[in-house]
Structures are given as structure tokens and as C-alpha cells.
Amino acid sequence: MSYTKLSDTVKIKPSEAAKEIYDIALVNRELSENARKLAPAIIEKLTKYELFRMALPKHLGGIEDNPIETLKTYETLASAETSVAWIVWNNHLACTFGRFLDSTSINEIYKNPNDVYANSTRPEGFAKIVPDGYLVSGRWTLVSGCELADWFVLRCLVTGGELPTKLGPGAKLKLMYVPKKFVKIIDTWSVGGLRGTGSHDIEIEETFVQENYAVDFESSVENNTAYNRLPIGAINASGCAAMSLGLLKGAIDELTKMCLDRVTPGKNPDLRDRLTVQTVLAKAKSTLAAHRSQLHNSVSTLWKESINENTFTDEQLADVWAASCEAATVARSLISEIYAVAGTSSLYTKFRIERIHRDVHAVLQHGIIQPHWMNQAGMAYVGLKPTAAMFRI
């Protein structure tokens, strides 16, 4: 097993590192919220424990181990401050795309252990074919962590020759690696949920990207490891679900703390004496455990198949998509119940429930966790072929 490096002699798992960061994330919640980007103290710890690099090969700081480790990491971080987990999760995807680079390019782009990465899979840019590469231009929305990033991985419509100039049949898409010096950040992130992610728009104007820094989902994978054989879409969805479960855990913890802190003498009933509070806490704790187990089991199945170099069945992939969508949806529902039974206290920012309620609704706006993925899973279960391209990628 690969562990994140703490010193020359002590190594800890990413999930254990997340526990170390938990208190720092809590202490810096308001700073991250107000600045609309992660506080420097948080970035320092995430970098130290290499949590931005989990999807990379081992020699570049990755784990190359059961992805359950990443799910535990996201859940723990999200239970403290969702924006921290969100940026770590986004870096995992940006590093996952590194599997499609040749060995020289991946070592060039990911060589600095202090670098942070951002990405957008929205094809909102254009890459004009020129000798030895592309000229990239465009404006991308919702680029999480853009103010922190040293490198950007941005999806573009490739143009030139007989290629279409609009999205649709025959369109060619590629992911372009662009260093931060060519990226202009446009302040657009005026939002409620996930404020600390700093998901502003970015803009690039006619920037040259060399051919070997442009990849797509059909590019060859030189480093054929079990981790690099994992499906990008399903694993990404499971990470989003893990964050949702972390938010639910945070809401459970906060409501429990509120109950224990508000024990008063006399005959007047306290918060903990309310039937609705007792009921929702019991339901939330059992539901959290059940959905965590289902999510981890489905992802572990993919890991075992990947180790053995087996092809994933549609049913196995469907299990991850379905577990992810259901876990996230149920987490949002139960957080809303917790918000309701906590009464007027939920309105106040001094209680974590207020922000958790905002954040979970923001998390579930992501396309990787939308209801249509449950439909795709259902198709697999009845013997039909799921039609969404990312279902198997």
C-alpha cells in the first residue's frame, strides 16, 4: 500500500491525513468562506500530505491502491468543510487525466509536489489545429480552485480542416493542459453553497498547447496499472457521493452537539427531548452507515476486477452509479430534515447546519450525480445497453 509522506520515517494513509486536517479545516471555515477560496493553512496541509495527488502514479505521490481510501478522505474532509473536500476531489479528476499523457509529459506537468490543479470537462473552449499542436481560446465556467491552480486541464472543441466548428455529430474533443500564466480569472463566484471553492470563470486567448499536452478519452495509457484501469465516470460519481455522506455526518455531529450543549435544569423540555430530533438522528445515523457500506462495496468490486484486469460489466458499473446517486440524494433529504428539526438555530451561521444545508444543495447540482444516471443504471439492470458515453469511460 502507498502512503502519503509525513516525514522520512512516518507515513500515513490519505484518510488518516484527512483526520489530521479536520480541525484545521474547521478553524479556517470562515476564512475560506469569506475569501471564496481555501485558507492558506489548509492548502499547506493538503499539499504536505499530497492529497491533491492521489490519482497520480506512486512515483508522483499517488496512492495506486483501493479507491475506497479516497472516498474515506472526501467524507472526512466534507464533514468538516465541504469546500476542502471539493477541491481535493477536483484535483483527483485533474490528476486522473494524467493517465492519458506519455511518460515524459506526465513527469513534466506533475513533477512539482507543491502544484495544485484545476479542470473543466465542459467543452467551452476551442483548439485550432496548428503545426505541432493547437491554439487554445475560450471561456470556461465553474472552474473550481482556479485561483489556487498551477495547471489547468480544459476540454476544447478541436477545429481545423474538415472538422465541425460546433458541438454535435463528428465533433472532436480534447483535454488541453495549460499552465496558469496563460489563464485569466474572471470573478463570477457570488454564490451561497460551496463558496470556499472559488469556482470562477476563466479565460484563455490563443495560447499554444503542444501536441503531447492534448489528450482525450481514447488516448493510449502507457502506465497500465489497476488504478489507471478504473472507470473515470463512476469513480468520480462515487467521490461526489462520499462528499454528500460527509455532509450528512457533519449535520449529525452538529445536531448531536447542539442537543448535548443545551441541557438545562428544570422541567422545560430541551432540544434533545423532542421526538422529531430523536427520530431524525436515529434515521440519519443508520442511513449513513447503510449507504456508506453500499457505496464502498460497489467501488471495491470494481477495484478487484481492475486488479485482475477483467472487463467491468454494465451491472457492476451500474451498482456504483446507482449507489452514488442514491447516497447523495438521501443525504440531501436527511440534511433537510435535520435543518428542519433543529428549529430557528438552523438559520444562524454560528451553527454548522446552516452552511451544510447550503453546501449539500450545491454539491448535488453537479452533473455527475444527476437523476439520469440512475436511469442509466436501471437500463443495465434490465439488460439494455446504457447510452450515456461516460457510463463506461
pLDDT-above-70 percentage for the chain? 97
Identify which of 258, 252, 254 has the alpha carbon closest to the alpha carbon of residue 288: 252
Contact in structure between 277 and 255 (CB atoms under 8 Å): yes
Concatenated DSSP letters of 21-65: HHHHHHHTHHHHHHHTS--HHHHHHHHHTTGGGTTS-GGGT---S
Quote the pLDDT of residue 263: 86
The pLDDT tens digits of the residues spanning 43-81 come to 999 999 999 999 999 999 999 999 999 999 999 999 999
Dist. CA 317–CA 324, nearest whole Å: 11
| DSSP states along 183-217 | -EEE-----STTGGG--EEEEEEEEEEEGGGEE-T
pLDDT tens by residue, 180-224: 999 999 999 999 999 999 999 999 999 999 999 999 999 999 999
According to the model, what pLDDT value does residue 265 have?
84
Rounded alpha-carbon distances, angstroms, from residue 5 to 17, 149, 194 = 10, 22, 29
Q: Is residue 5 pLDDT above 50, yes or no?
A: no
State which amino acid sits at residue 307: I
How does the average pLDDT of the chain come out, rounded?
A: 96
**DSSP count for the chain of H helices, then E strands:** 11, 9
CA–CA dist 243, 87 (Å, integer): 11
pLDDT over threshold 70, residue 288: yes
Between residues 3 and 333, which one has the greater pLDDT?
Answer: 333
31-60: burial string, b at 16+ Cβ within 10 Å, e else: ebbeebbbbeebbebbbbbbbbbbbbbeeb
CA atoms in the 13 A half-sphere facing the CB of 21:
38
182: Cβ contacts below 8 Å, ≥ 6 apart: 204, 207
Tell me the pLDDT band of 386, cut-offs 50, 70 and 90. very high
* Element at 316 (helix H, strand E): helix 314-341
HEC string for 258-283: HHHHCCCCCCCCCHHHCHHHHHHHHH
C-alpha cell at 302: 470494481
Per-residue confidence (pLDDT) for residue 353, from 0 to 100 = 98
| Mean pLDDT for the stretch of residues 108-135 | 98
Mean pLDDT confidence for 156-182:
96
Give the per-residue pLDDT at 2. 40
pTM assigned to the model: 0.96
Q: How far apart are CA 185 and CA 24, in angstroms?
A: 27
- Provide the pLDDT confidence category of residue 4 given band limits of 50, 70 and 90: very low
pLDDT of res. 156: 98
Joined grid coordinates for residue 19:
483526520
- Strand 11-12 and strand 133-143: pairing? unpaired
Residue-wise burial string across 117-153, b where 16 or more C-beta atoms lie within 10 A, e elsewhere: bbbbbebbbbbbeeeebbbbebebebbbbbbbbebbb
Structure letter (DSSP) for residue 130: E
Q: Nearest-CA neighbor of 324 among 387, 244, 380, 382?
A: 244
Tens of pLDDT along 223-276? 999 999 999 999 999 999 999 999 999 999 999 999 999 888 877 789 999 999
Cα–Cα distance measured from residue 108 to residue 105, given in angstroms and rounded to the nearest whole number = 5
Q: How many CA atoms lie within 13 A of 383 on its CB side?
A: 0
Kindly tell me if the per-residue pLDDT of 105 is higher than 50: yes
pLDDT score, position 7: 38
Confidence band for 320, pLDDT divided at 50, 70 and 90: very high
CB of 292 within 8 A of CB of 79?
A: no
Cell 444545508, residue? 357
Please state the separation of Cα 250 from the chain's center in Å: 17
C-alpha cell at 393: 469511460
Which pLDDT score is estimated for 9? 35
What pLDDT shows up at residue 29?
A: 96
Share of the chain above pLDDT 90, in %: 95
Question: Picking from 19-23, 166-170, 317-321, which range would have the lowest pLDDT averaged per residue?
Answer: 166-170
Helix (H), strand (E) at residue 12? strand 11-12
